Amino acid sequence: MPAPQPDAELEQIELDLFVQALKRRHGHDFSQYAQASLIRRVRQLVHAHHCGSISALTTRLLHEPDFLTLVIQGLSVPVSEMFRDPPVFSALREHVLPILASYPQITIWQAGCAHGQEVYSLAILLEEAGLYERSHIFATDFNPDALQRAQEGIYPARDAQLWSRNYLLAGGRQSLASYYSARYDFIKLDQRLRRHITFADHNLVTDKVFCEAHLVLCRNVLIYFSNPLQNRTLALFRNSLVRGGHLCLGLRESLDFAPTAVDFTAVDANLRLYRRNSQPSSEEHDEAA
Amino acid sequence: MRRPEAIVIGCSKGGFNALKLLLGALDPQLPQTVLVCCHTASGAGVLAGLLAAHSALPVIEVGERQPASPGIVHVAPGGYHLLLEHDRHFALSVDEPVCFSRPSIDVLFGSAADTYHAALIGVVLTGANRDGADGLGQIRAHGGIAVVQAPVSAEAATMPQAALDIAGADYCLPLEQIAPLLNRLCLT
Ligand SMILES: C[S@@+](CC[C@H](N)C(=O)[O-])C[C@H]1O[C@@H](n2cnc3c(N)ncnc32)[C@H](O)[C@@H]1O
């Protein structure tokens, strides 16, 4: 016979308490994350750590100093690909790099870098356009474990096939294999690609503007945020961009509903590629710092 | 029994033909929200377009943060998991694939069960893997109704068989009897 019905209200209370504990005890604020994905991740944490309930998870979070790292790893979704959505990288190559080339120094911010797949893809684009020597990329994430792996640039060899295909579809000029060495079941990216990248811990919810960028790339992070948090984060990107700077979002993310949309013009709306207007709009929105 | 508010359908191999038949035989007056997760090689945009030509109800591909609307068939986009928020708006995620699939039927079914509780019908059709079985179990645990295509009548039997083995079903029927059942459950 059917098991007793899951108690949705009880679970919601437990989830709220967990989120509060995470915020008050550790300063990580998930209160404005989209709930459907968050609850899924939290349930997976309960399961993975044999906690039995979200409350038991909260207890460990409060009392075990080392548990936070595991919780952040579980809530972060460092799933990515090199040259994911190849047409986006072609568009960056064709429309954005020629504009970046007009600056003596190029600053790029890639937010939510996961294991670094996307930031190394950018480095390759810049290298092939002869722009990398005067570029600097800040790759940020709030998951220290992901940042560590991003620095290492080591990936399972089974991913290389898809990534090579993506690279070629994105207009790559050589073979992706010329940028990595393969050993056993792993590939290791050429360490030289790292020379102009700074990896840093930055939380989009609580941290502020830290650079003046010509390009901000933040893909598949906003989908995890509620609408108000998306709006705030988009204002943060606006404030981090020079006038005429570019913003690139994930294919299922959009600027359209955010107040800061008035400050941007679409370069390619389908590819979620936008450019900050060179003239201020009458009402620049100031929600983020 | 509470009248269902939503029908959620999962399929993979052979799914396009099965959906064509099923959606074509639904009553155009159906007031339920219909959600579809079909693993396909081609994009969901293409799938939604093709299904629209055969369906009794309008078919759209889901966009980020759209509301789940009554009387409309919503197809999960490729490359993302499809979930529902409590306010009945869609959410997408790029979490790891489940059963090698993204979108995953388990993820959509589970999230729909969290949202509609007992007022939900889950339907598992033809397919060559076991995605959907756990999700159908969650629908049943919330008191929703489980419908599974009879494996012998399915182009690929693995998926409906796994659903029967793991979740069980309230109805196990050949494909052509499923739409009439849904019409009956939803309109009376
Ligand atoms: C799905 S990955 C996206 C990776 C890559 N941009 C892509 O599209 O392939 C999302 C990343 O965002 C990070 N993230 C989530 N919330 C964040 C926050 N508040 N601040 C900074 N990074 C965050 C996660 O840790 C994860 O690495």
CATH of the domain at B134: 3.40.50.180
Q: Report ipTM for this prediction.
A: 0.93
List, for residues A37-95, the tens digit of each pLDDT value.
Answer: 999 999 999 999 999 999 999 999 999 989 999 999 999 999 999 999 999 999 999 99
Mean per-residue pLDDT of chain B: 95
Q: Which CATH number does the domain housing residue A131 bear?
A: 3.40.50.150
Q: Cβ distance B138 to B146 under 8 Å?
A: no
A32 and A174, same structural domain?
no
Instruction: Please give the tally of structural domains in chain A.
Output: 2
User: Considering the domain boundaries, does residue B132 fall inside one?
Assistant: yes
Q: Is residue A164 situated within a structural domain? A: yes
What mean pLDDT comes out for the span A205-229? Answer: 97
R_g over Cα of chain A: 20
The per-residue pLDDT for range A17-33, each reduced to its tens digit, is 999 999 999 999 999 99
Kindly give the distance from the C-alpha atom of residue A16 to the centroid of ligand 1, in angstroms, as a whole number: 22
Instruction: List phi, psi (to 5°) of A85.
Output: 55, 70
DSSP A53: S
Q: Say which of B80, B107, B142 has its CB closest to residue A6.
A: B142
Residue A124 falls within a domain, yes or no? Answer: yes
State the residue range of the domain holding B75.
6-187
- The reply to whether A254 falls in a domain is yes
- State yes or no: is B39 an active-site residue: yes
Contact (Cβ atoms closer than 8 angstroms) between residue A202 and residue A210: yes
- For A198-221, what is the mean pLDDT? 97
Please name every residue paired with B123 in a beta bridge, in sequence order, or none if there are none: B9, B147
Q: Do A113 and A236 fall into the same domain?
A: yes
Residue A204: strand, helix, or coil: coil
Q: How many Cβ contacts (< 8 angstroms) between chains A and B?
A: 62
A274 & A200 share domain:
yes
A80 lies in some domain: no
Contacts of B92 in chain A (CB under 8 A): 223, 252
pLDDT of residue A7: 87
Three-state secondary-structure class, residue A218: strand
- Per-residue pLDDT of B102-112, as tens digits, reads 999 999 999 99
Q: A91 with A234, same domain?
A: yes
Residue B131 within a domain: yes
pLDDT at position A6 is 75
Q: Which domain holds residue A43?
A: 8-75
Over the stretch A136-185, which tens digit does the pLDDT of each residue have? 999 999 999 999 999 999 999 999 999 999 999 999 989 999 999 999 89
Structural domains counted in chain B: 1
Does any domain span residue A235? yes
Give, in degrees to the nearest 5, the angle at Cα B10 between B5 and B11: 155
The structure tokens 């799938």 sit at B47
- Spell A55-78 as b/e; 16+ CB within 10 A means b: bebbebbeeeeebbebbbebbbbb
Instruction: Give the burial string for B3-25 (b: 16+ CB within 10 Å, else e).
Output: ebbbbbbbbbbbbbebbeebbeb
Q: What gap in Å lies between CA B46 and CA B50, rounded to an integer?
A: 6
Checking if the pLDDT of A126 tops 60, the result is: yes
Q: How many CB atoms lie within 10 A of CB A192?
A: 11
Residues whose beta carbon lies within 6 Å of some atom of ligand 1: A 76-81, 84, 112, 114, 118, 141-143, 146, 203-205, 219-221, 224, 250; B 94
Tell me, yes or no, whether A93 lies in a domain.
Answer: yes
Percent of chain B with pLDDT over 90: 91
- Marked catalytic residue, from B55, B74, B104, B131: B131
What's this model's pTM, rounded to 2 decimal places? 0.94
Q: Report if residue A61 sits inside a domain.
A: yes
Q: How far, in Å, from the CA of A218 to the mean position of ligand 1?
A: 8
Note the pLDDT of residue A16: 98
Q: Which ligand 1 atom is at minimum distance from the Cα of A84? A: 9
Give domain status of residue B141, yes or no.
Answer: yes
- Least confident stretch, A51-55, A96-100, B38-42, B91-95: B38-42
